Amino acid sequence: MRTRDIKCDRKGVFMDLNKLYRKLEAYENSAYEGGVGCDWLSEIGEKYKFYVKECEENNIAPTFEGWVTYVDKLARRFFEITMTINFTKK
Q: Model confidence over 16-62: pLDDT tens digits?
A: 677 888 888 999 999 998 888 899 999 888 988 988 998 899 998 88
State residue 67's pLDDT score. Answer: 86
State residue 64's pLDDT score. Answer: 80
16 forms beta bridges with 7
This prediction's pTM:
0.67
State residue 86's pLDDT score. Answer: 55
**H-run or E-run covering 8:** strand 7-10
Residue 10 has pLDDT above 80, yes or no: no
